[in-house]
């Protein structure tokens, strides 16, 4: 059986290998901090295996995460010069290879889908090939490996360090933004443990009359959107609003279908992402890239759509969940 943890080790190993490349990259003025940041995350990915099945203490990992947060948070990480081809070389190569370039890129989703739908059902002697419950993640990993092999054969590229360098360039460009979703998920869990969900639930209990399912749907969706506006990300809002309203009221009390409630609830949060400057990577970065005078230009273009879609999500839950 192929286990999900093996795949996490592979991701950790890739981060560690990239960290080693960063350490020797003299074009990066902050190479030590950058290498330390990704090294800590890579090692954390591997160590997490034993934290997840509770055979190792979680505290050292927590400390390591906070070290990574400080490294990136205090500006100790940076970027090296990207080693890539010239625009002319790329244009010539694109003209030569044409649409074949899309083949490896499309291999990833095709393999991932195949694993999630087909390979999932295959088993040898009662043991499934892919660890059950993790087929989609494993599909992504297997898809990426297959795609890399296909690409290297197609492009006649023999040095594994080339794709590793190319990927490292993007990793450095994304920097802390890559860790933020994971940290926001962590914050969501801490909010949960510290009782933020219960606190919000208490507040909503006062506001929300008992047994009014449709009012609760509105509260859940609008709450998801507002919380996302504050937190800049639906990931942090989701555990709070789901613990406060989504699960106890809509699913347990009103017997709503979990898949409908939670999928549309998350998308109600995405409506919030469309209107918040906190989601800097989606709303502020494009304004800068497009040299807009009005930093809020994209948000203004998105606001009416966000409000309309929030209403759509409320209707979808109300109609299909009960």
Partner 1 sequence: MLALLGVLVVVAGFATKRNPLLVVGVAGIATGLLGGLSPRAVLAAFGTGFADSRSVTVFAITLPVIGLLERYGLQEQGRALVARFARLTTGRFLALYLILRQLTAAVGLVSLGGPAQTVRPMVAPMAEGAAERRYGTLPDRARERVRSFAASADNVGLFFGEDCFLAVGSILLITGFVNTTYHTHLEPLDLAVWAMPTAACAFLLHGARLLRLDRTLERELGGGAGALAGSARTEEAAA
Q: Measured between alpha carbons, how far is 7 from 48 in angstroms, rounded to an integer?
A: 12
Task: Tell me if 309 contacts partner 1 by CB under 8 A.
Answer: yes
Closest to partner 1 by CB, 16 vs 125, is 16
Q: Does 254 bind partner 1 (CB under 8 A)?
A: no
Least spacing, CB of residue 29 vs partner 1, in Å: 18
Report DSSP letters for 248-314, one per residue: IIIIIIS---HHHHHHHHHHHHHHHHHT-TTSHHHHHHHHHHTT-S-TTHHHHHHHHHHHHHHHHHH
Shortest Cβ 1–partner 1 spacing (Å): 18
Rule CB under 8 A: say whether 3 interacts with partner 1: no
As measured in angstroms, the least distance from the Cβ of 86 to partner 1 is: 10
Query: How far apart are CB 312 and partner 1 at their closest, in Å?
Result: 4
User: Looking at beta carbons only, is 55 or 210 nearer to partner 1?
Assistant: 55
Angle at 68 between CA 62 and CA 73, to 5 degrees: 125
d(CA 125, CA 133): 19
* 237 CB neighbour count, 10 Å cutoff: 28
Which residues make Cβ contacts (< 8 Å) with residue 28, sequence separation at least 6? 22, 34, 78, 79, 80, 81, 172
By CB under 8 A, residue 226 contacts partner 1? no
Q: Which of 78, 104, 223, 256 binds partner 1 (CB under 8 A)?
A: 104
- Residue 214 binds to partner 1 (criterion: CB under 8 A): no
Whichever of 125 and 207 has its CB closer to partner 1, that residue is 207
Nearer to partner 1, 34 or 313 (CB): 313
Bridge-partner residues for 123, per DSSP?
128
Beta bridge partners of 130: 2
Among 26, 98, 124, 209, binds partner 1 (CB under 8 A): 98
In angstroms, how far is the first alpha carbon of the chain from the final one? 39
Q: Does 215 bind partner 1 (CB under 8 A)?
A: no
> Considering only residues 235, 245, 250, 256, which one is a binding residue for partner 1 as defined by CB under 8 A?
235
Does residue number 15 form part of the binding site for partner 1 (CB under 8 A)?
yes
Restricting to residues 20-59, name those near partner 1 by CB under 8 A. 44-45, 48-49, 51-52, 57-59
> Does 128 contact partner 1 by CB under 8 A?
no
Q: Do residues 303 and 274 lie in contact, with contact meaning Cβ atoms separated by under 8 Å?
A: yes
Q: Is residue 30 helix, strand or coil?
A: coil
* 10 lines the binding site for partner 1 (CB under 8 A): yes
Structure tokens at 160: 């594994």
Please tell me whether residue 204 binds partner 1 under the rule CB under 8 A. Answer: no
Bridge partners (DSSP) listed for residue 124: 127
**By CB under 8 A, which span of 28-36, 122-130, 166-174, 212-220 interacts with partner 1?**
166-174
């Amino acid at each position: 059986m192929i286990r999900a943890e093996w795949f996490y080790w592979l991701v950790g190993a890739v981060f560690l290998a990239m960290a080693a490349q960063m350490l020797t990259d003299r074009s990066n003025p902050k190479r030590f901090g950058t290498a330390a940041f990704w090294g800590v995350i890579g090692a954390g990915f591997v160590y997490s295996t034993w934290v997840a099945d509770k055979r190792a203490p979680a505290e050292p990992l927590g400390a390591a995460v906070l070290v990574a947060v400080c490294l990136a948070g205090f500006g100790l990480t940076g970027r090296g010069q990207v080693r890539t081809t010239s625009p002319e070389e790329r244009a010539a190569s694109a003209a030569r290879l044409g649409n074949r370039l899309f083949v490896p890129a499309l291999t990833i989703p095709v393999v991932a889908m195949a694993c999630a739908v087909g390979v999932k059902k295959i088993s040898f002697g009662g043991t499934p090939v892919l660890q059950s419950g993790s087929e989609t993640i494993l599909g992504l990993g297997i898809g990426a490996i297959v795609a890399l092999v296909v690409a290297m054969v197609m492009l006649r590229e023999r040095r594994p360090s080339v794709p590793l360098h190319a990927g490292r360039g993007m990793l450095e460009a994304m920097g802390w933004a890559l860790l933020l979703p994971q940290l926001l998920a962590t914050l969501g869990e801490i909010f949960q443990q510290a009782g933020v969900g219960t606190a919000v639930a208490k507040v909503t209990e006062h506001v929300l009359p008992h047994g009014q399912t449709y009012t609760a749907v509105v509260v859940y969706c609008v709450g998801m959107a507002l919380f996302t506006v504050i937190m800049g990300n639906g990931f942090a809002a989701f555990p709070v609003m789901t613990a406060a309203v989504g699960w106890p009221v809509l699913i347990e009390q009103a017997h709503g279908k979990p898949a409908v409630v939670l999928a549309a609830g998350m998308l109600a949060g995405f409506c919030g992402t469309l209107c918040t400057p906190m989601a800097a990577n989606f709303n502020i970065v494009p304004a800068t890239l497009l040299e807009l005078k009005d930093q809020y230009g994209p948000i203004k273009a998105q606001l009416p759509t966000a409000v309309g879609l929030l209403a759509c999500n409320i209707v979808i839950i109300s109609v299909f969940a009960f």
